[in-house]
Amino acid sequence: MKKSKNDLLRWLKNRFLAGILVLLPVLVTLWLAGFLYVKLTTWAVILVENFVPDVDKLFWLKQAVRVGTLLLIILVLLAIGEFMRYKFGRVLAGLTEWVLMKVPILRSVYITSRQIGEALWTPQGNMFRQVVLIEYPRKGIYTLGFLTNENKGEFELSARTGKNLLSIFVPTTPNPTSGFLLFMPREDCLFLDMKVSEGMKLVISGGVSMNSRKK
């Protein structure tokens, strides 16, 4: 009887955790989408209120304003992208960058934002290049890391240590946006065939995703 009760509790626990793992990413995605939907379009609703005072009470009119604003933003971004194909657009972008680089505070913000954008979006700037296995935080304990840079050419840290150091980002679980930057000798890194997306899923799930795939 006791064994049957323990089996039931284990079954309930496993199904409950499985439900959380499935539902949590969906809820987070929907919350983030709703948050951006409101933040990006609130200014348009406030603007329309000057002409239609009761717009906040008219649900469908307010949603129409928000959707129309999102479409306008998309069209503006497409227009900017097309504009950048021409020489005048590139010259104007270069001039804007030059001005921002001359202002001390704006310069730091601009450089950081540009580096993040390049790391996330450009093919040559993929933030995570490969999944590696390293012994961290001590010998005998293995941790997943992501290769971010091979530091080719003149690199002061490699010159000082006399070793070919790689930049390895070790994310925390279950929030991979924080973590540690380690400089590891190449010979201390075991390069895996695992895709970066698979490695990230493994980190976020706390190791659950790999086990479930084997089953």
Q: Nearest-CA neighbor of 203 among 158, 171, 156?
A: 171
Tell me: the pLDDT tens digits for 128-137?
889 999 999 8
Q: How far apart are CA 93 and CA 202, in angstroms?
A: 40
Tell me: the pLDDT tens digits for 141-187?
999 999 988 887 778 888 888 888 999 999 888 777 778 999 999 99
Domain edges within the chain: 2-67, 84-124, 127-214
Q: How far apart are CA 18 and CA 212, in angstroms?
A: 10
3-state class (DSSP) for residue 128: coil
- The overall pTM is greater than 0.75: no
Tell me: the pLDDT tens digits for 149-162?
888 777 888 888 88
Average pLDDT over residues 208-213: 58
Q: How far apart are CA 24 and CA 30, in angstroms?
A: 10
Instruction: Give the per-residue pLDDT at 23.
Output: 86
